Amino acid sequence: MPARKTGERKHRILQVLAEMLQSPKSDRITTAALAKALDVSEAALYRHFASKAQMFEGLIEFIEQTQFGLINKIEGEEESGVKQLYAIVAMLLGFAEKNPGMTRVLIGDALVNEDARLQARINQLHDRLEATLKQCLRVAASQGSDGGRPEAAQSPDPAARANLVLCYIIGRWHQFAKSGFKRAPTELLEQQWPLLLV
């Protein structure tokens, strides 16, 4: 089978898995249910992925590549640490809004009763995001005041501030999932943003 065709089939399997995760009341997704949704046999799934855990790993890789690709773009285009931080927070919330099924992966909800290494993988992703936020805050601190908003620069501990910002992001992802994907995670960001910087 040509590599391109195999790549397309793998992408389709991951796309349907993400769509199935969008159901707010979805039970644990089985390979049988996934195969039925794709109108293929379970054996056909296992020709592309060795296990269901590998399918979830594929989703996590997609999330990571997409988010860090956008983060690199933001960091390359914006010099201000505070503006980088805001753009990254807005992007992470917007990513969840556009990809509700993947939000359940990001908060670990979809990984309950799955292979334990998947939750460890998501924790690593969160650690990477926190390190990125911390770097933005360090840049902001080195720049002093930024556009009349010196609050971020005065933060004595970028690590603690980055942890707070990440908790805010993950909290908004949880609220989005718990609302049945009705309460947009980007809602209220403008009003709440100054509170994250004091």
Task: Supply the CATH number for residue 91's domain.
Answer: 1.10.357.10
Identify which of 107, 86, 109 has the alpha carbon closest to the alpha carbon of residue 27: 109
38 located within any domain: no
Cα 147 to chain centroid, rounded: 29
Asked if residue 31 is part of any domain, the answer here is no
Residue 112 lies in a domain: yes
Q: Note whether residue 32 is domain-resident.
A: no
CB atoms within 10 A of CB 160: 12
Burial of 186 (0-12, 13-18, 19+ CB in 10 A): middle
Residue 156 pLDDT grade (very low, low, confident, very high; cuts 50, 70, 90): low
Q: Is the pLDDT of residue 152 over 50?
A: no
Residue 121 pLDDT greater than 80, yes or no: yes
- Separation between Cα atoms, residue 182 and residue 172, nearest integer Å: 12
- What mean pLDDT is reported for the chain? 88
pLDDT at 194: 86
In this predicted structure, the answer to whether residue 107 has a pLDDT above a threshold of 60 is yes
Residue 141 has pLDDT above 90, yes or no: no
Q: What pTM, to 2 d.p., does this model score? A: 0.88
Lowest model confidence (mean pLDDT) among 4-18, 58-72, 142-156 = 142-156
pLDDT at 80: 93
For residue 5, tell me if it sits in a domain. Answer: no
Supply the pLDDT for residue 50. 93
Residue linked to tokens 């980055």: 162
Is residue 30 assigned to a domain?
no
What is the extent of the structural domain holding 114? Answer: 52-196
Measuring CA to CA, which residue among 136, 133, 134 is closest to residue 79? 136
What Cα–Cα distance (Å) separates residue 14 from each residue in 10, 57, 65, 77, 159?
6, 10, 15, 31, 34
Q: What is the pLDDT of residue 2?
A: 56
Q: What pLDDT shows up at residue 148? A: 43
Assess if residue 33 is contained within a domain. no
Of all residues in the chain, the percent with pLDDT exceeding 70 is 89
pLDDT at 113: 86
| Structural domains of the chain, count | 1
User: Going along the chain, which residue ranges are E strands?
Assistant: none
Distance separating alpha carbons of residues 82 and 145, to the nearest angstrom: 9
pLDDT of residue 97 exceeding 90: yes
pLDDT at 28 > cutoff 70: yes
